[in-house]
Amino acid sequence: MDIRYNERSRTFTITAGDSSYVIGIADKEGFIGHVYYGAAIAEEPMYLLRIDEPPFVPTKNNRDRGSFMDTFPCEFPGNGLGDYRDGAVEVIDAGGHRAIKLTYEGHNIIDGKPALAGLPATFETDGARAKTLEIYAKDEALNVKAVLRYSVFEDSDAIIRSTELINESATPVLITKIMSASLDMDSEDFEFLSLHGSWARERQIDIRPIGYGKTSVGSVKGESSHQEHPFMALIEKGSTQEKGRVYGFSFVYSGNFLAQAEKTQFDSVRVMMGINPQGFKWELKPGDSFQSPEVVMVYSDCGLGKMSRTYHDLYRGHLIRSPYKDKERPILINNWEATYFDFNTEKLLDIAREAKKSGIEMLVMDDGWFGRRNDDNSSLGDWNVNEEKLPGGLKYLVDEVNKIGLKFGIWMEPEMISPDSDLYRAHPDWAIQIPGREGVRSRNQYVLDLTRKEVLEHTWNSIKTVLSSANIEYLKWDMNRQITDIGSAELGRDNQGELSHRYMLAVYKLQERLVKEFPNLLLENCSGGGARFDAGMLYYSPQIWCSDDTDAIERLGIQEGTAIVYPLSSMGAHVSDCPNHTVGRVTPFETRGNVALAGTFGYELDITKIPQEDRDMIPFQTATYHKYNKLVRSGDYYRVASFRENHYYDCFGVVSKDKSEALFTFVQVMGRPNYHSRVIRIPGLLPDVKYVVEGVSEEPEEWLGSTLEKAGLRIGNLWGDYKSLLIHISKADD
């Protein structure tokens, strides 16, 4: 970790692990240029800014300023002054003009990493310190200043960027776009990797060429969304898990976002990531500042695998705060797929009693326990217990569950309001809406305008009252619709464009209060499955529900895409009943368990009703979880084979940091005749060490790490579809 300024060449070099990032100041005007990002280098190749080639810098050739502006590799481009590529910042000044150009004014290199007010952000720890470069840039005509921040940690290859804009003028400025990071690179035939999806099919890996013009993904749904994901990677064509130059960009934010690569006339690529400018407008009053969320950039010249492992380590070590992050999470049983809305105290206690016998540790009561909610048409906002279903209230139920020996967790959807609720009847204006229009319903519900103080306070009190009413040790915080009808009763004409970001700040404020006032609560975020599975949410909850699709085979793709960025310890994964409720597929109970063991692990079924032979497997699965969870939670992740690519089998695993132990999961999705190759190469082990391999043949086998990596293991025909193996590898005794 190092950040240094070279006075002579006017360059900043940021070193993060194996990567270097170089920024140069060009010309008397102080253009801030992007010089280099990639494998670590020891010099500053300023020639990459091409300031000595035509059209030169404006001091040498002002007649062609326009050409210079449109070709210069810019570190944080403005708008409206000759650079026709997309700007990273756009504003409207008091006269209605839209130009902005930020040039170098000064800098500071500081120890540590400043927190970002109101926003989730990576942080330093006692064990791994940070350094931050702040570059101050100014538009003299507007009197607006920007602070470009770059932070690095001692133990990571990641570089973290964010932008702050400060209005030093005497008149308001409207920000219409502010990216958190932008950089101009040579195109080098990169491909664009994104995580595409839908409800129940989140984060599927998609790779496409970067053609001329713009290649982008984004959300304007008020959440990171099922459909696109706040992550992109520029990857060298042909990159694999082990090979290829790969640049990852992950956004620490849960609302509207844009991730874009723009290939230009000169074969350069402008990459940017930030809050989606569509619909965004922020009034920056004199003296005010606006802080963007942060982007985590990771470079790997050893393919996607190293990039993923860098993200996993960074997010486990420097983003997730929960006291649970390094602990085994209780194995839970959730009643959603077991009962949906049709349950009562007796039913839940029956499940709890049976669950206890099999080693399950917590009962989570899902949707339907409050107001008059017997389906999804009513009662969101009325967070008082339905005593017809739960006589004696939460306290009685939770005490009984605790007596059985299980912890208790609960579901809430605090951000929502049903039109059919006492809350809506009392405060119809509390819903986000546009006057004169009937609000668009989704799952028959509206979204609360949490940007209003009284709405936020009321919502907080509801959460607090529920959590304080009994011994509740886990909360599943759901958010089941996207935002439409962008309108807040409190914002004026010029400020409605602030609503979506203000909304996210309000959600973060609520979750911040939650983690401060209930520090031992295990929080799991959720959004109609995995529509808010993002780095922003991980700052508050150590785990997030991955998807409403619990089918083991569908989960292979969902969990593979999720693990591109996020550690396995954060992926909510449960065993559910068959035929699967989303796709109707029947898979062996053992495989459902093996796939869910790659996440936080739990059950989502009526344990009193499933076949006895399935129930008999649960004690073994819960014991397996305890045996291997530390390894799964803290090890290095390796993707060995992908069913998405080979349409046949899937294989992934984790290797402990000290390389003494590993666990690999193999799923034969399609049965094929015996002679079909099923050799899997086990990466990440020590080459000269003998390991014991269990789970492939009847008897354990011993092989050197180098044999396992180079020759691999041959998996016999597992005979049938959806069969799976857990392969445990441990150092042999000397």
Q: 645-650, long-range: CB within 8 Å, 24+ apart, which pairs?
A: 648/672, 648/676, 649/678, 649/715, 650/556, 650/560
Nearest to 348 by CA among 371, 328, 364: 364
- Residue listed under structure tokens 């464009």: 497
Q: How far apart are CA 541 and CA 627, in angstroms?
A: 24
CB of 572 to ligand GLA, least distance (A): 9
Closest CB to ligand GLA among 101 and 532? 532
CB of 150 to ligand GLA, least distance (A): 37
CB 502 within 8 A of CB 451: yes
Percent of residues in the chain assigned helix, strand, coil, to nearest 5:
25, 30, 45
CB of 332 to ligand GLA, least distance (A): 12
Closest CB to ligand GLA among 139 and 382? 382
Residue type, 405: G
Q: Which of 184, 366, 548, 614 is the catalytic position?
A: 548
Residues in the site for ligand GLA, rule: CB under 6 A?
336, 366-367, 376, 411, 478, 480, 526, 528-529, 545, 548
Closest CB to ligand GLA among 215 and 445? 445
Q: 375-380, long-range: CB within 8 Å, 24+ apart, which pairs?
A: 375/341, 376/341, 376/443, 376/444, 376/445, 377/418, 377/420, 377/444, 378/418, 378/420, 378/421, 378/444, 379/418, 379/420, 379/421, 380/413, 380/416, 380/417, 380/418, 380/421, 380/445
Is 494 considered catalytic here?
no
Residues 484-507, buried b or exposed e (16+ Cβ, 10 A)? bbbbbeebeeeeebbbbbbbbbbb
Over the Cα atoms of the chain, what is R_g? 27
Which run of H or E residues covers position 315? helix 303-318
* Half-sphere exposure in the Cβ direction for 460 (13 Å, CA): 21
Closest CB to ligand GLA among 479 and 655? 479
Contact residues for 155 (Cβ-Cβ < 8 A; gap 6+): 127, 128, 313, 317
Adjacent-strand bridge partners of 702: 692
CB of 443 to ligand GLA, least distance (A): 8
Nearest to 255 by CA among 543, 537, 460, 443: 537
Closest CB to ligand GLA among 411 and 652? 411
DSSP structural state of residue 203: -
Residue nearest to ligand GLA (CB): 367
Q: Tokens representing 174? A: 């409207």
- Residue listed under structure tokens 């299980």: 406
Q: How far apart are CA 250 and CA 295, in angstroms?
A: 6
Is 478 considered catalytic here?
yes
CB of 206 to ligand GLA, least distance (A): 23
CB 414 within 8 A of CB 458: no
Closest CB to ligand GLA among 162 and 379? 379
Closest CB to ligand GLA among 542 and 572? 572
CB of 411 to ligand GLA, least distance (A): 5
CB of 376 to ligand GLA, least distance (A): 6
CB of 511 to ligand GLA, least distance (A): 17
Q: Which of 478, 606, 614, 650 is the catalytic position?
A: 478
Closest CB to ligand GLA among 228 and 478? 478
> What residues are annotated to the active site?
478, 548
